[in-house]
Amino acid sequence: MKFTAGQIAQMLNGVVEGNPEVTVNSLSKIEEGKPGSISFLSNPLYTPYIYKTEASIVIVNKSFVPEHPITSVLIRVESAEVAFAKLLELYNQIKNDRTGISKQCYIAGTAALGSNIYVGEFSFIGENVVVGNNVKIHPQVFIGDNTTIGDNTILYPGVKIYSDNVIGKNCIFHAGVVIGSDGFRFAPQNEGEKKIPQIGNVVVEDDVEMGANCAVDRATLGSTIIRKGVKFDNLIHIAHNCEIGENTYIAAGTGIAGSTKVGKNCMISGHVAMTAHITIADGSSFGGQTAVSRSLTKPGLAYIGSPAMEASKFRRSSAVFRNLPELAERVNKLEKNQKGKT
């Protein structure tokens, strides 16, 4: 799809400097710009590239003053970074604006589908499923019986949603996300372990995004709950009966064990591990590879380490244990000297 510099400037409330009829049909980094693409300059470190880029259009700040001739058409805006982010969003909307139902999918007769939806090849929609308006279901998605999908939600290829789950509006699930798999619960028996049936569900509220290959287990009873505005990176596991609070962000590789309640507005770095049946206060943040083995009830604190400790204490402690070999050597020498005196 082609756009002129004039059309793009109108979308971004910018001013064209050069030919407003120049057209582009792709986006590019300024150092890799090619004819027919649009790029942007925000970071001063990349300024040298604007003089040799082949991008047809470059978005720049209004304050930008060139030191050499520029062959690209410029669009001047208040903030090039913000404007390009808006352009990326518009591009993504256009790219994903698919509609229609493939003849190679299966939809149960009792399923209720909203308007303007897309269902890709080899997808499966089970009995009594309710799909909202403007939902995009990409190829090879599985949606189990009695599941509800809210308006404007996007399910990328290979997403699997087991039966009886509730997915809110404006959610995005990337490839390989699994919602509603069994929780990991077994009861010891004389003859071995006995699996405990998991008959609850998962409730995902509005505006949640999950990266590729995340897994959220169904509850044993009741619901595993992912609250509004939560954002997951790739490869995250949320166990049965957990609750993740509003607007909490979790980076890749994190695992949260069963029945743990994480507050709202938390920031959890990669490879964090949380044990079961604990509570995490609102606004808590965790450095990478932190291991949390107890409830943390004071809001707004930062934690690092294994086991987790407040970041300020960890930094003071690290100054000590970083020098433990030298300290041990000094103690040994003092003990030898003391023995020699006696």
Active-site amino acid positions: 240
The answer to whether 99 and 117 are in contact (CB under 8 A) is: yes
Q: What's the chain's Rg over C-alpha atoms?
A: 27
Do 186 and 207 meet the contact criterion of CB atoms below 8 Å apart?
no
Amino acid at 327: L
Angle at 99 between CA 96 and CA 102, to 5 degrees: 115
d(CA 195, CA 122): 32
Q: What is the DSSP letter of 47?
A: G
Specify whether the CB–CB gap between 220 and 196 falls below 8 A. yes
Contacts (Cβ under 8 Å, ≥6 apart) of 233: 211, 250, 251, 252, 254, 270
The 10 Å Cβ neighbour count of residue 77 is: 21
Contact in structure between 212 and 231 (CB atoms under 8 Å): no
What count of other Cβ atoms lies within 10 Å of the Cβ of residue 196? Answer: 14
Rounded to whole angstroms, how far apart are CA atoms 147 and 128? 7
Which phi and psi (to 5°) does residue 287 adopt? -75, 165
Residue 241, phi-psi category: left (phi > 0), alpha (psi -120 to 50), beta (remainder)? left
Helix and strand totals (H; E) in the chain: 4, 40
CA distance 95 to 121: 18
β-sheet bridge partners, residue 17: 74
What is the rounded CA–CA span in Å between residue 138 and residue 99? 10
